[in-house]
Amino acid sequence: MEIVRATNNLGSTRRSFHAARMRNGETHRSFDTARARCDASQRSRDASQASCDASRERFRLTRARFVSLCCVLLLAFVSCQAQTPQRQPAARVESVKFESKLVGKPLPYHVVLPPLYDAPESRAVRYPVIYLLHGLGGGAGDWVSERAHLAAHAAGYRFIIVTPEGRDGWYTDSATIETDKFETYILAELIPDVERRYRALPAREARAVAGLSMGGYGALKFGVKHPQTFALAASLSGAFGAASWDHTDPNVLAFIKPSISRTYGAMGSPTRASNDLFKLFADLPPERFPTLPFIYFDCGTEDFLINYNRALSDLLLKRKIPHEYRQLPGSHSWPYWDTQVQEVLKLATRKLRAAQ
């Protein structure tokens, strides 16, 4: 009986051991499964880390490209700013109602003031003045009209520019109308009025006179007849032969004849002799050459006045009177004058006393 019970116990023990072994196998399989899941989770984390690293790298590259693009655009902007002229403040144009006692008529004039004329830091500054004369058939408003761009051209300079009214009087005291004193009025009335109203430097070294066509003739005539008043006399397309033109000559343009007759009178009149630009330079004593203002004139090669300009340059060369003459493509027209007045402004910066 004891043997049977021992045998039975042994069998039970074996079954228990077998069951334990099976449970152990299940435990191992569970462990393996858990380890597999852990390995899978680790691989997922590694993949996630790799994806994160890749995202960081893409962000780094994108940021680098963006910074580079910003630098390129900034450099392009700076370069463009350096190469593009900066917009100048506008010059200011004023109109003055002026009544001439000599002429007995209203002779308004316009004034182009430098951009900073009214600025607090400039209120004690005095400026050089350019008197810019109009042509035949024109008026004081020509140089400040849409045909010219004088205010825009003047914005970069420290000048006062005055555009007077000269009617069709050739800037000459008339031989036939006693009150048409278009030379004397400029000197005795206009200049003093400008210097009372505005902060103009009241000195020869700070005054220039310039003009186109009839005004070019007038400017050089003021220069040679009144050298004590102006340091620069400049002409664009000057009508230098005016005092010698015969109003009865069929070759003289019809629109010029009435003003020539009214201003100079008959051929051979004293007014013609005293205002003939070629005669004035031809008769000028050499000892007076140093007293002259700097003389500048130019003319377009397609201008009907080109031969008068060339002839005056030849006379000045022959007499060794210092001057500068230019001839270049262009006609008797506003596009030419609008371009060449800029040369006069450049020249004035070198020949006139600076604002102070």
Reported as a single tens digit per residue, the pLDDT across 132-145 is 999 999 999 999 99
pLDDT-derived band of residue 332, with 50, 70 and 90 as boundaries? very high
Determine the pLDDT at residue 333. Answer: 98
pLDDT-derived band of residue 199, with 50, 70 and 90 as boundaries? very high
- Residue 341 pLDDT more than 60? yes
User: Who's near 319: CB < 8 A, 6+ residues apart?
Assistant: 281, 282, 284, 286
Q: What is the mean pLDDT of residues 266-294?
A: 97
Question: What digits encode the pLDDT tens for the residues 301-314?
Answer: 999 999 999 999 99
pTM of the complete model? 0.76
Nearest to 270 by CA among 169, 134, 161, 175: 175
- Cβ neighbours, 10 Å, residue 128: 26
Which one is predicted more confidently, 49 or 1?
A: 49
Determine the pLDDT at residue 26. Answer: 52
- HSE (CB half, 13 Å, CA atoms) of 104? 4
Determine the pLDDT at residue 28. Answer: 45
Alpha-carbon distance of 316 to 289, in angstroms, equals 11
- Residue 325 pLDDT more than 80? yes
Are 165 and 139 in contact by the 8 Å Cβ rule? The answer is yes
Which one is predicted more confidently, 288 or 3?
A: 288
- HSE (CB half, 13 Å, CA atoms) of 152? 9
Determine the pLDDT at residue 43. Answer: 63
pLDDT-derived band of residue 337, with 50, 70 and 90 as boundaries? very high
- Cβ neighbours, 10 Å, residue 242: 26
Structure letter (DSSP) for residue 221? H
Q: Could you tell me what percent of the chain has a pLDDT over 90?
A: 73
CB-count exposure of residue 236 (10 Å: 0-12, 13-18, 19+): buried
- Residue 177 pLDDT more than 70? yes
- HSE (CB half, 13 Å, CA atoms) of 169? 25
Determine the pLDDT at residue 215. Answer: 98
Alpha-carbon distance of 207 to 348, in angstroms, equals 9
Are 290 and 231 in contact by the 8 Å Cβ rule? The answer is no
Q: What is the mean pLDDT of residues 334-355?
A: 97
Q: Could you tell me what percent of the chain has a pLDDT over 70?
A: 76
Give the helix ranges, DSSP H, for the chain: 2-83, 150-154, 184-185, 191-197, 214-225, 257-264, 270-275, 277-282, 306-319, 334-351
